[in-house]
Every structure is written in C-alpha cells, then in structure tokens.
Chain A
C-alpha cells in the first residue's frame, strides 16, 4: 500500500509537470503570430543568405585553457604527492613521472601550435 502511494505521488507529479509543459507550449503557440519563411530570415540589407548560419569558428582561447589545465593539474597533484612520496617510495616517484609525461604531451602540443612564443 505504501509502495502504491509512492508510485501514485511520482505519477501525479509527472502528469502535472507534463500538463504544465504542454500548457506553456500551447499558450506560447497561441500567442505567437504565424511567421513566414521570409519573415524569419536574418536581416543584412534585403538579400537572401548564401550559406547556412551554422558555422564553426575558432575558440582562440583554447591554447590558454590547455596550458592552464596542464600546469594547474601538475600543481594540484604534486603538492599532496610531495607530502607522501618518501613514505610511498619508488612506486610514487615512477607514478609521478608517468603523470607528468602525460601532461607534458599537452605542453608539447601547445608548443607545436606556437602558443609559447610572445606574440
């Protein structure tokens, strides 16, 4: 009986939210005037667009993000490592070298993209 009540509660919440979403959808549809295709086109002086508006553009900050991430990750893990590596021994030293070499790949990539030079 308790289980049924719980299911009923969930189902009623689901029904209520669905009804709310549908009501909002109907309301917005009813309040929005019909818009034709020419009315939807972006304005650039009256001529139709040649290419689609979906285009990729370069996230120019990505090398900064990459460099920040590599050095930041190094710091975040090397501080706790520095506290325990004496007690953990050779294994910890080997592990940190593996970790740093993975991050170094990122730095090498940034280097190849010439983002380390002054511009």
Chain B
C-alpha cells in the first residue's frame, strides 16, 4: 500500500507529530510524564489513534495477554518500541519484533524514526500477535446455530447481553453494562484493572481486578530515575533531607501533569513538566503562583470541587496526602529528628475531595522546596521510616475503591482514581494473582 504515494506527501506525513499510545508498565511514572511532554510526540488515549506503541517499564507476565490485545488494536501501519531498563534478553522468545531502547537511549528519536520508516515504506507494519479466531463462535438456539428469542437470539460470540439493574438516580431502570477497564487504560495507574458496571454514564458497581504482584516475572525492567532513586536509596545509605524533599516535590509535579492531561490542560501540563525537570528550591514561589492559577473556577476548581469526596475514616486508611487532604495531620516525618530540627509540621486541607487533594500535593511540594532550601546537609539514616511521596495502596483497596467510585459519573470516577496517586510499581506489594 505504501510506496506509490507522491514523495512530497510522504515527506509531509513523516514530519507530522507521531501519534503514540503509551502502555505503562511498572516503574515508569517518569517515563510516561516524559513522553507526554516530548516535542515530536503526541500521546493519544486510544491505540486506535496511534501509529507507535511505546511500552515503558516492566510488564509482568500477567499483563502480557492484555498488552498483545492492545498491540493488535493499533491501526496499521504500526510499530512497537519498548523503553525499559534492563532485562532485554528474554525479548527474543516473548516479543520477537521488539525494538528495545534502554534507559539511557534516545526514545524520542527512535519513535520518530519508526514513524518515518512506516510512512516511507522502508519499515513494514507489524502483523497482529493474536490469532484471528473468535473466543466463542456465534450460535443461536437452533440446530444450525440459527434463531432464538430476543434481540439476538442466543448468546452472540459467547457474550451474553447486558442485564438490567436498579437505577441509582431516578428509578428508571436501564441495562447495566459490565466493562473491564484497564490494565492499560491511560489515566489509571499501571496494572490497575476495574470491572466497572455502567448504568448509562453512572458507575453502578466496581470490582477491583487482580493487581500485578511483587517481584513478578515478566518483560523489561523498571525505569527508575532520580525521583524514585532518592527513596529507594534510603534503604541502603544515608540520604540528605534536601534530596528527599526535592524528589517529593518532583513526584507531586509529575502526578499533576497526569491530572492536567486528564482535564485536557496539556499546555499547562507541559509547563509543569518543564518546571519539574529543572526544579530547584528557589522556585517555590512559581509553584504558589501555579496553585493560585489552577484554582481559578474555569481551570480546575469547578471541575474537581466535590469530586471523589473521602470521609475521615476512609481517608485514614488511604494515608499519605489523601489523609492530609481530609484534615488528618498524619505524617511520618514528624517522628524524625532531622525534620523536627527544621520545625516541620504537616500541611492539611479540610474538604477531602479531589480539589483538596491536588491543592494538598502542590502545598506539600512548596513546603518540600522550602525545607530543601534550608535543610543544609541534614541527613536521614538508612532504614528510617520517612513519609513516601505517596504511600503504598492500602490492603482494603477492594472495598475502598468501590465505595469511592459507586454512584459517580464516569468522568468524576476517573478523576477520583487519578487524584489518589496510586502507583503499584513503586512498591510492588499486594497479591501476585493473574489478571482475570
């Protein structure tokens, strides 16, 4: 199909922004944020709109079937690039077409090169990975697979029709549709899959799918950078307070770029990402100005106020910034001598909704920069329990998430999940079960 186009058209197409779908593996929050703000790359939210699939971080074996499915959902011509840290030797058997870029490689250049190759015809499209068979054949109730009652007469392709459920709003009952969302749904944390039952656009019920387990076997390695390294290093060696706090501020800003992308504020997100990469303690006033700007009604205030409200009891179970955004002044740093010497007191916000959660994180980033600026060479001893930028997901996730999301409209539900800043990769805890 390629090769017969006029050369000027090929040139124009090759120079366009590359539509990229990012499949986030574990340990790649920084990588996802980098790609969202890379100049020649346009990160899209569906593989249908993408030419290049970029797989970042570590993909456990349990997520590989879903990743193959996402790969096949890219439109042709397509290419796959793995951007991962280490562990590239197993690709030959599990993913033979992989073009692997390691942590130090120039992934932007590779993406543009792959796109150009596809457009000019010098690189052929990747064939589908999954076989062309339906999981279950269409069969009606008759002896020749025909007929039946109702709209379709039977169970089309092995999938029953949606059943009815009570309505949560005004009593008019609709069909409720259960849909598995994730594990590569872009706004969700890597590896999170939810079985969401929709009644129209309202979340009727939520079931949390199996999460990637600790130390799981899989493809590629985590792409940790300074932001993750500061806290993982604390297990082995003394780390300065300034380094930890700068990493915390950068973590919060990275998370904020994701939230801004969710609300379509990509230009602001790019600026925040730029700030994040060159963050120094003296830039705290810029963050204060940013917080004021985001809290304008037409920017984030109206969209996030009252969304995903969490009561005090549940907030205590979530812990970390989510708890502090609900008025609970709990912070492991108050127990550490180094922080006490710096007169550290936790920031809190009262409302416990998504708006207070992003305000909380920005306020904490400002506080972190301020502490980093005057901490001098104060250090934390290895093994000390300090407050991570976001705590591990609570064990009661299976009840906490459904309680939070049920009854919300889908847009608000996604914003609620994002506002929690769940990352399974940073901790790799929880059950090692296969994804359903």
Chain A contacts to B: CB under 8 angstroms: 33, 36-39, 41, 43-52, 54-58, 60, 119
Contacts and interface: CB of A to CB of B under 8 A. Distances in A.
Interface string B59-83: 0000101111110110010000000
A39 B200 contact: no
A45 B182 contact: yes
B172 interface: yes
B182 A47 contact: yes
A84 B130 CA distance: 74
Interface residues on B, range: 35 or more
Contacts, number: 109
A46 B178 contact: no
B159 A46 contact: no
Given A37-B134, A39-B73, A44 B181 contact: yes
Contact of B174 (A37, A46, A58): A58
16 contacts: A37-B134, A43-B47, A45-B181, A45-B184, A46-B65, A47-B66, A47-B180, A47-B182, A47-B183, A49-B159, A50-B179, A52-B159, A52-B160, A56-B162, A57-B175, A58-B174
B183 A46 contact: yes
Contacts of A41: 69, 73
B312 interface: no
Interface stretch (B111-119, B149-157, B256-264, B346-354): B149-157
B66 A45 contact: yes
Given A36-B132, A43-B73, 13 more contacts: A39-B128, A44-B181, A44-B182, A45-B181, A45-B185, A46-B67, A48-B69, A51-B159, A51-B160, A51-B161, A52-B162, A54-B161, A57-B200
Nearest to A47: B180
A43 B151 CA distance: 24
Contact of B162 (A39, A43, A45, A51): A51
B321 to A, nearest CB: 26
Interface of B: 1, 46-48, 63, 65-70, 72-73, 76, 128-135, 151-152, 156-157, 159-162, 170, 172-175, 177-185, 188, 193, 195, 200, 209, 435-436
A38 B67 CA distance: 12
A58 B162 contact: no
> For chain A, what secondary structure do more than half of its interface residues adopt (helix, strand, loop), or is it mixed?
loop
A52 B136 CA distance: 12
A52 B157 CA distance: 8
B172 A58 contact: yes
Contacts of A37: 130, 132-134
A79 B88 CA distance: 82
Contacts of A60: 172
Given A51-B160, A52-B157, A36 B130 contact: yes
A45 B152 contact: no
Contacts of B159: 49-52
Contact of B156 (A46, A50, A54, A57): A54
Nearest to A57: B174
